[in-house]
Chains A and B, each alone.
Chain A
Amino acid sequence: MVKKVATPSTSLLRMLQALCLLAAMCMAPAPASATLPDTAGVRTRTLLFGAGSQNVLETYLSPLEYTGVSTSQMQMTERRMPQRLANWLTNWYLLITMGFDGSILHSPAKNVDAFDGNVASSVAFVRGWRPAPQWRLAIGPMGEACGGATFNTRNGNNPVQARLSATLGLTALGEFDFVWLRRKWTARLQADAPVIGLMFSPNFGQSYYELLGLGHTDRNLRLTTPFNAPSLRLMATIQVPLTRKLNIVAGYRADIRQSHVNHLKSHHWMHQFVVGISRTIKTLSR
C-alpha cells in the first residue's frame, strides 16, 4: 500500500482551489462594466490617498535600513482610445498616472531621522480583452519618469541621495466584476514592471559638490534592467459604486523600487493602504 504524502506544491494548489471556491461562493459574477471605460469619450478618473510604511536603504548615505511612515497621493486617468483614429485602436486604453509620496524615516537605533520624497508620472498604453462578461484583462507598454531624494539629517558632505529615472516597461491589469450584498463590486489588480531605462546616480564616492559645484560627471547616467534595478509596482483595489458616476476605491499598494549601480545599493519598499474615489466622466467630442 502506497501512502500518499502531500507535497508543498499540492498543498499550495489545494489552498488556491479552496480560495477560489470561497470567492465563487461569496461573489456572483455580474455583467456590469468594470473601471476601464467601455466606450470612447468616457474617462475614469481616480484619486487615491495612501498611508503605510516604507523601508529605505541608500548606501550612499548609510549602510543601515531606515524605516518609517509614508503617505502618498495618486491620480489616475483611464480612457478608451477613440476608434476614429484607427480601427486597430478599438480595444486599446490609455492609462495616465501621476503621484507623489513622502516619508519620515528613522535609523535602526532611532537616533537619526531621514526624509524621503518622490514624484512619479507614467503613461501606459494597454490592449484590453474580455475573456468573460465580468472579466477584463489588459497588457501593454508603459513609460515612467520618476524623481526623488532622501535627506539624512546627520550626514555632512553626503546628506542627500537624489534619484532621477526614465524607464520603459510593462503594465498588466485584470478587473473582475461581481455582486455582493446586492451591490456591484469591482476587484482590480494592476502591476507595473520597469524593464529598461536610464537612471541618475552619483558614482560610489562622488560628492554632489564635485558633481554640481565643479561639474565633474562620472558614469552618472546608468542603464537599468531587471538585473540591476528589479522594481515592481502593485495595486490591488476593490471598488464599489456610491452613485451612478462616483465610486469608492480602497486597497493595497506596494511600490518596490531598487537599484544597484556604481556599487551603490538602493531600495525603497513602500506598502500602503489606499483609499479614494473614482469618477466616470463623459467628454463631448467636437
Chain B
Amino acid sequence: MSFPISSGLLDALVLAVISNSDTYGYEITQLLRTAVDVSESTLYPVMRRLQKNGMLETYDKEFQGRNRRYYKITEIGLEALSNYKREWTEHKRKVDQILGEGISA
C-alpha cells in the first residue's frame, strides 16, 4: 500500500532534491520515484508553480546538441524548504506517537 502524497509534501521533496544540486526534469522524476509513487504528470505543474513563486530558477545547458533545462533553488526556496522540514519533523513525531511502538525515530 502507499500513502497518498499531499501537494505540500511534494513541494518539499522537489525543493529538497534540487537543493542538493542543480538538476533537470528527468533526474528529478527518477529520484522522487524511489520514494513516492508519483508520475511526471503531477511534477511539472509543481515545478512550474515553484518557479513562478520564486522558489526555483531555471537555466538552460546544452547536452548532446539539445537543450536541457536545469533547476536551481533560490533563497526563498531554501527558506521554504527549511520550514517544510521543520513542519514535517513535527508532523512525523505526532504520527509516530499515535502509531506507537516499533517506530524507529
Same complex for A and B? Answer no
